[in-house]
Amino acid sequence: MLISEFAKATGLTLDTIRFYIAKGLLKPDRSPKGGSNQYRLFKPEDVTTARMIRLQQTLGFTLAEILALNDEYRAGEHSSERTIEVLQLQIERLQQRKYALEVALSFLQRKVDWVKSGKAGPAPQMEDDRR
């Protein structure tokens, strides 16, 4: 698929896609078409990659962090063991975010309860979560 089609499939702009390629986050093939400046050719799996990048971004990871894992994934692609290891790392990273999320949600819920109770007792606080 050509870049504009890829843009539609992912919701990214052409500029953003090219930016990601320059950063090494996406590595599309080159079509023989386009003469000296060959066209880029995207595979369906690149769409999945792009969606994963966006998702991770909304979860507060930087492109550098995302790239690091991406590269490691690619490096161990031939070994199933290594692939699973990297995937597991990724899962752990997301589960840490999930934990932070739950801390925040619990705090807010406690606060709602506190307000509903007519602000009885001390206002809910948040633990010093510096890990």
Partner DNA sequence: CTTGACCCTGGAGTGCACTCCACGCTTATG
Partner DNA sequence: CATAAGCGTGGAGTGCACTCCAGGGTCAAG
**Residues forming the site for DNA (CB under 7 A):** 2-5, 13-16, 18-19, 33-40, 57, 62-64
Q: How far is the CB of 72 from DNA (least distance, A)?
A: 17
Q: Between 38 and 65, whose beta carbon lies closer to a copy of itself?
A: 65
User: Which are the contacts of 70, defined by CB distance < 8 A and separation ≥ 6?
Assistant: 24, 25, 49
Angle at which helices 14-23 and 3-10 cross, to 10°:
100
**Stretch 41-70: interaction string toward a copy of itself, x if CB under 8 A:** ---xx--x--xx--xxxxxx----------
Q: Tell me which of DNA, a copy of itself, none is bound by residue 128, counting a contact when its beta carbon lies within the kind-specific cut-off of 5 to 8 angstroms.
A: a copy of itself
Which residue, among 23, 61, 28, has the nearest Cα to 44 in the 3D structure?
28
How many Cα atoms occupy the beta-carbon half-sphere of 81 within 13 Å? 0
Q: Between 9 and 114, whose beta carbon lies closer to DNA?
A: 9
